[in-house]
Amino acid sequence: MNAPSRSDQVSDMKILVADEISKSGIEMLGTEGYDVDVKTGLKEKELSSVIGGYDVLIVRSATKATRKVIENSKLKVIGRAGIGVDNIDVEAATERGILVMNAPSGNVVSTAELTIGLVFALARRIAEADASMKKGEWKRKELKGAQVSGKTIGIVGLGRVGAEVSKRATALGTTVIAYDPLVSPEVGVKLHVRLVSLDRLLLESDFVSIHTPLTPQTKDLIGKTELAKMKKSAVLINCARGGVVNEEALFDALSQKTIAGAALDVYAKEPPKDSPLLTLSNIILTPHLGATTREAQEDVGAEIAEQIISYIKHNVIKNAINLPAKLDPEIVPYMPMAEKLGTLISQLGQCSAGKVEVSCRGELAQKDIRIISASVMTGMLKPISEEHNVNYINAIEMAKTRGIEVVSSTSDEAGQYKNLIRVLLNANGDAISVAGTLFSDKGPRIVEINGSTVDIEPEGNFLIIGHEDKPGMIGSVGTVLGDHDVNIASMEVARKKVRGPATMILHIDEELSPEALEEVRGIANLRSATYIRL
């Protein structure tokens, strides 16, 4: 999906690859002419000292893009070759307007296959059998396992990997249930999965498989209380993120045989040196192998490289972690219009904003309009901000730090338009409003300023004049502009009644000097004059 052009885009990008990715991914970046350095194994101090020379950072799970690293950078993008981004301080990146993107598709199948492999390994006690055989033992009777077919597999998190696990589990003849509060019943039906509460999943499942990201909400999601609800014959598998399962509680449950077994591929601290889990025989431990297949490494490396190239060359954003909303292809064309409205109202206001109301009307009302509000605030803050690059990622947060309240609303009623975006700025007791839309034949247009109907293409230099509708006003303004060699490209006058308050909008070919603007403001019966650049 296409995002609007960014004025700060550069062609001579420097890219640091801080973890191993496929050669094909590195070659793709090099072919585009980017300066690519591969420096793996960097600790925070080392990475902080060199990151200032790069525009893009690519990591996998080993390198930590901490706040310190990010604050020492001038990065535009952090790319994660894989799914989880818990090794990236997304909040710090968002504050500085750095796009964080991941490559969620490349390792999905590999992780799902490892999960199913661990299901069989636990059910048939394969690891124990292997270790016993290598000791010269023959424990055929002692290592009796369980059949997988006919059992219930509970999936916690029905995202990409969880969905792939469910497909494979269904094919094995199991009953699949899932817990995911963000998944609709329709998705469950499509995947042949019964959606249940977490408590019910823990009570009913023979195999519990974790597939959630690590967030403040999911940290220690499976702890002492949750493990106590599982069957004594049940096993737990975590191929998602370390920290979702409380390892201390898991150790107690396994050592006390509260549950039968577990398999972990991820850990709260990696590697899990000195973890008491290493001493248990009823747990299988693998060194974060979920994405470690030749195919997955090739896929995620190529995937993140393609996404970075698309963003740098074409401003195409895919799999962004920290945009305020997903880029719906139907809403993307309205983002430049929304940004222009923000730029316009910022210059019209010329005062400290207290509250900004963004209203999306018509068909847009059925969409997630957070990205529209972010676009408006990007346009508003760019002309006045001396901070880091303002963009869709950090605009709302920057507005909050400036004490600006941003309110979004929707309405199905758009009057004569298919869609309408209206922005209202409240500041110092004054209210200023602008509105715009997108026509299929004419493109973006500003259609309203302070309640007056206009028709302006939002591009170029404008002089917007508030005045009393009296004879001679147009001539007086034209004379001043002519004296300053400023050519008028087009003009329109918006008024609600004859000889009442009116708004004159002049599209001018040249920039307007401060001297010329002051002279215009000196014209009799003129209430205001504002020079606008869009």
Say yes or no: 434 and 515 in one domain. Answer: yes
- Domain boundary residue among 285, 304, 323? 285
Same domain, 75 and 113: no
Q: Is 270 designated active site?
A: yes
Residues 132 and 266 in one domain: yes
Element (H, E) at 99: strand 99-102
Judge if 87 and 130 occupy the same domain. no
The answer, yes or no, to whether residue 180 has pLDDT greater than 90, is no
Is 511 part of any domain? Answer: yes
- Domain of 401, CATH number, reads 3.30.1330.90
Residue 319 lies in a domain: no
The catalytic residue among 168, 194, 288, 521 is: 288
Distances (CA, A) of 274 to 224, 269, 278, 279: 21, 11, 7, 9
Residue 11 has pLDDT above 70, yes or no: no
Active site (annotated) includes residue 294: no
Please report whether residue 34 resides in a domain: yes
Tokens of 304: 């993140």
Domain that holds residue 521: 334-533
The reply to whether 481 and 384 lie within a common domain is yes
pTM above 0.75, yes or no: no
Q: Which of 46, 137, 142, 270 is catalytic?
A: 270
Per residue in 384-425, pLDDT (tens digit) is 554 445 778 878 877 886 678 899 999 998 889 999 999 998
Annotated catalytic residue 288: yes
Task: Note the pLDDT of residue 498.
Answer: 83
64 touches 87 (CB < 8 A):
yes
468-474 long-range contacts, Cβ below 8 Å, gap at least 24? 468/499, 468/500, 468/501, 468/502, 468/525, 468/527, 469/493, 469/495, 469/498, 469/499, 469/500, 469/501, 469/502, 470/499, 470/525, 473/502, 473/504, 473/523, 473/525, 473/526, 474/504
Rounded distance between C-alpha atoms, residue 372 and residue 421, angstroms? 9
Q: What is the pLDDT of residue 384?
A: 56
Q: Cβ neighbours of residue 305 under 8 Å, at least 6 residues apart?
A: 21, 24, 25, 26, 28, 29
pLDDT of residue 405: 87
**Model confidence over 74-101: pLDDT tens digits?**
999 999 998 878 899 988 998 888 999 9
Considering the domain architecture, whether residues 61 and 179 belong to the same structural domain is answered as no
Number of domains in the chain: 3
Between residues 471 and 316, which one has the greater pLDDT?
471
Residues 397 and 310 in one domain: no
CATH number, domain at 97?
3.40.50.720
- The residue from 241, 370, 467, 507 that is catalytic is 241
Amino acid in the structure at residue 47: L
Asked whether residue 123 is assigned to any structural domain, the reply reads yes
**How many Å apart are CA 369 and CA 37, to the nearest integer?**
39
DSSP-assigned states of every residue in 236-288: EEE-S-TTSB-HHHHHHHHHTTSSSEEEES--SSSS-TT-GGGG-SSEEE-SS
Distance from the first to the final alpha carbon of the chain: 24
- The pair of three-digit structure tokens given for residue 362, joined into one six-digit string: 């018509």
- What pLDDT does residue 8 have? 43
CB count within 10 Å of CB 62 equals 14
